[in-house]
Amino acid sequence: MEPAALREEGVREVEEIVRRQDAWRLTRTINLIASENALSRRARALLGSDFNHRYAEGHPGARYYQGTEHIDAIEAKCREAIKEIFECRQAEIRTISGTNANDVVWCALAGHGAKVVANALPAGGHISHQPLGGLGKFTTDILHWPRLEDGFRVDVAKAKDLIVRERPKVVLFGRSLILFREPVAELAPVAREIGASVIYDGAHVLGLIGGKAFQDPLAEGAHVLMGSTHKTFPGPQRGVLLSNLDDEQWKKIDRVAFPGSLSNHHLMTLPPLLVTAYEFLAFGRDYARQVVANAKHLGRSLHQAGFAVAAADLGYTETHQVAVDVSAFGGGAPSSERLKNNDIICNRNQLPKDPPKKVGNPSGLRLGTQEMTRFGMKERDMADIARFVRRVLKEAKYVGDDVVAFRRRYQSVHYSFDNEAASPDEAPEPETE
C-alpha cells in the first residue's frame, strides 16, 4: 500500500470515530454530565469557518495582524451581548476555557504567595482552586471555608471570623459540585473591609446566573465573576471574565489576559458563542428556570425511588446539579460505569463526607440536567430518568434499549433558533451494540 493511501485510510478512520461519537452521544444517550451541554445546530455549523485559520492578537480595532475586520466585528458584538446578558460593565471573552480565565484572575488579583480562602475538594471545590491545581502555581497558602453540618454550605458566622482573623488577599467562591448559593452578599462586605478581592468562579452556574435563575454574584458584591461558556451556558468551549470594576481597575486583568496569558485566542469558537449569546438573550431565562426545575424534580424522583440523595431536607438543589450517595452500590466509579453501559452518562464525584484523597472511587454521583433540558426534557422526563437509574443500580437490569428509545423522542435543541432542526428521522442513526 502506498504511504498516501495508508494515511488516507487513517483519515477515514478518524471520520468514522467522530461519526460514531455523534451518533452515540448526541442521539442515544441520556447525558447527565454536569459540565457539558450541546450547541444549537446553527451555532455548531459555524465551527468550521475560516476563523479556524486566523490570528487576532489584541482587541478589535487594535490588532497586531491585518485582515481581521470580520473577526473584529464578531468579537465586538460578542462582548456587548455577553455584557447585556450579565448586566455588567466589563467582559473579557478571549480566554479559551474557564480554568484559563481563572489563571488570569489568580495572576492579576492574587499573585505569588497570597493567602486565599476557597472551598475544599470534598465540599465541591474545583481542582483549579487547590494547591495541586492552577491556583497552586501562585500560592499554597489556601484556607478552606468552614462548612455547616450538611457539608454543602458555608458556615457564615465562622467564615466572618476566619476572614477577620486571617486577613486573606482573596476570598474565592464557587464550586464544581454546587447545589446551593454561596454567601457572597453576607461575606463580601467583611472581605472588602480588609481590602480582600471577592472572586466568584461561576463556571458551572454561569447560565443560571445569566438566566436569573440563581444568585447574581456581581450584584451581591463580587469584584470578578469567571465562567465557562459550555456548561449551563450552552455555548462552545471558552471562558469569560465579567466585572463592574472601573476602566482603570480593569486594566490589570485586561493586560494579564493579553499578552500575559493569551496570544491568539480560539477564533473558530467566537461565532458560535455569539449565536449562543443571541439565543440566550431570547430564551435564556425560560431555559435556566427549566434547568433548575428539572434538577429539583430529578432529586425528588430519585429520593422517592429509594436513593440517598444529598440535601433532601434542603430541597435537593438550587442549581442544575443533583448529588447522590451510591456507597450502597459500590461507590461512584462502578455505579457510573454501570449507568454508562446503559447509555446513561454521569460522573463519579466526592461528597462532603469523603476523605480528601478518595477520588478514584468516591461515594457519590453528580448529575446535571442542563443538556437534557436543552433537548426539550421537562419534569415528567426526570421521573422517567430516575426509574431508569433505579432499574440499573437497584434492580441490576439492562435498560439500554429502553434508554435509546426514550432518547429518540428528544433530538432537536430547544431554546435556540433551530426552527428547522432535524427531526428524529433525520438525526444521525444511533449505533447498535
CATH topology of domain 44-275: Aspartate Aminotransferase; domain 2 (3.40.640)
Comparing CA positions, the residue from 205, 144, 146 lying closest to residue 180 is: 205
Say if CB 99 and CB 239 are below 8 A apart: yes
pLDDT value at 358 more than 90: no
Helix (H) or strand (E) holding 118: strand 116-118
| Structure confidence at residue 428 (pLDDT) | 52
Report CA-CA distances (Å) from 172 to 18, 307, 354, 408.
Answer: 38, 32, 22, 41
Q: Is 241 exposed, middle or buried (0-12, 13-18, 19+ CB in 10 A)?
A: buried
- The number of beta carbons lying within 10 Å of the beta carbon of residue 12 is 9
Rounded distance between C-alpha atoms, residue 209 and residue 288, angstroms: 8
Rounded distance between C-alpha atoms, residue 102 and residue 236, angstroms: 18
Cell of 44: 455548531
pLDDT value at 432 more than 70: no
pLDDT tens per residue, range 125-157: 998 898 888 899 999 999 999 999 999 999 999
* Long-range contact pairs involving 90-93 (C-beta distance under 8 Å, separation at least 24): 90/241, 90/242, 90/243, 90/244, 90/245, 90/250, 90/253, 91/240, 91/241, 91/242, 91/243, 92/240, 92/241, 92/242, 92/253, 92/254, 92/257, 93/238, 93/240, 93/270, 93/273
Say if CB 39 and CB 238 are below 8 A apart: no
Cell of 175: 464550586
Domain boundaries, the chain: 44-275
**In angstroms, how far apart are the furthest CA atoms of the chain?**
73
pLDDT tens per residue, range 31-69: 999 999 999 999 999 999 999 999 999 999 999 999 999
Rounded distance between C-alpha atoms, residue 34 and residue 367, angstroms: 6
Angle of CA points 244, 248, 254, to nearest 5°: 75
* Long-range contact pairs involving 69-76 (C-beta distance under 8 Å, separation at least 24): 71/267, 71/270, 74/270, 74/271, 74/274, 75/270
Report CA-CA distances (Å) from 148 to 142, 152, 279.
Answer: 19, 7, 38
Say if CB 105 and CB 174 are below 8 A apart: no
Cell of 304: 422517592
Q: Is 350 exposed, middle or buried (0-12, 13-18, 19+ CB in 10 A)?
A: buried
| Structure confidence at residue 194 (pLDDT) | 97
pLDDT value at 4 more than 90: no
Say if CB 361 and CB 332 are below 8 A apart: yes
pLDDT value at 166 more than 90: yes
Comparing CA positions, the residue from 410, 431, 356 lying closest to residue 124 is: 356
**pTM across the whole model:** 0.94
Residues 6+ apart with CB under 8 A from 247: none
pLDDT value at 16 more than 80: yes
Average pLDDT, the chain: 94
What percentage of the chain exceeds 70 in pLDDT? 96
Give the three-state DSSP class for 92.
strand
| Structure confidence at residue 131 (pLDDT) | 86
